[in-house]
Chain A
Amino acid sequence: DAGVIQSPRHEVTEMGQEVTLRCKPISGHNSLFWYRQTMMRGLELLIYFNNNVPIDDSGMPEDRFSAKMPNASFSTLKIQPSEPRDSAVYFCASRTTTVATEAFFGQGTRLTVV
């Protein structure tokens, strides 16, 4: 398996534009997580899905953020409209739902909003 695949790796966009980040989890993993990493706040859990269903989105900062998982092999995180303070590295991770299992992270998408 190629691991968790995120795209794009880098995204530069203008304030106010819509941004869509994509993630393909590892096949067979039924939990998927979106994280945001900044120097100031560290790694923040934004939302996670179990079996394609959003379980906890309390970490989503604002209504401008939305996430979907239409099937077991694909998820998106959308920011609309984007703002400079959204600049961060966004990570997707997946794992099985067994209690004691590790999470596998993608390489991240570095988002810069100018």
Chain B
Amino acid sequence: SQQGEEDPQALSIQEGENATMNCSYKTSINNLQWYRQNSGRGLVHLILIRSNEREKHSGRLRVTLDTSKKSSSLLITASRAADTASYFCATRSPRGGGADGLTFGKGTHLIIQP
């Protein structure tokens, strides 16, 4: 089963606008990570937020985490055409036995219109 679920599934905005994507998860976490995937490529790590953090910034990225609601959001400010990609949130696998694999949602496909 999916641990992280992103929404919306797809988002199309104009260049320069801000893009917000959300992620919900089901079990307790140590941290939550956001990744980006360009078409035909592997995933690239963007940012990690720990369970005791509420907000984190990295360049044009802003991530929030609400552990009470089991949700996170990724904000990309001043979007650029090159931001067009799929974005995934990832959490530690809910499987037991010391499971340490990251579990991903199905992602949000972001399209930035020039």
A residues near B, CB below 8 A?
A: 4, 31, 33, 35, 42-43, 45, 48, 50, 55-56, 58-59, 91, 93, 97, 99-108
**A56-B93, A103-B45, A105-B44 known; A48+B31 contact, CB < 8 A:** no
* Least distance between A70 CB and chain B CB atoms (Å): 20
What are 5 residue pairs bridging A and B, where the CB atoms are less than 8 Å apart in the complex? Answer: A48-B100, A56-B97, A93-B43, A102-B48, A107-B42
Assess whether A58 is in contact with B43, with CB atoms less than 8 Å apart.
no
* Least distance between A81 CB and chain B CB atoms (Å): 26
B residues near A, CB below 8 A?
A: 2, 30-31, 33, 41-45, 48, 50, 88, 90, 93, 95, 97-107
**A43-B88, A45-B93, A102-B33 known; A55+B100 contact, CB < 8 A:** yes
Assess whether A56 is in contact with B102, with CB atoms less than 8 Å apart.
no
Assess whether B99 is in contact with A42, with CB atoms less than 8 Å apart.
no
Known pairs A42-B105, A55-B100; list 16 more (Cβ under 8 Å). A33-B101, A35-B104, A42-B106, A42-B107, A43-B88, A43-B104, A45-B101, A55-B99, A91-B42, A93-B43, A103-B33, A103-B45, A103-B90, A103-B102, A105-B43, A107-B42
Which of A33, A58, A101 sits near B95, CB closer than 8 Å?
A58
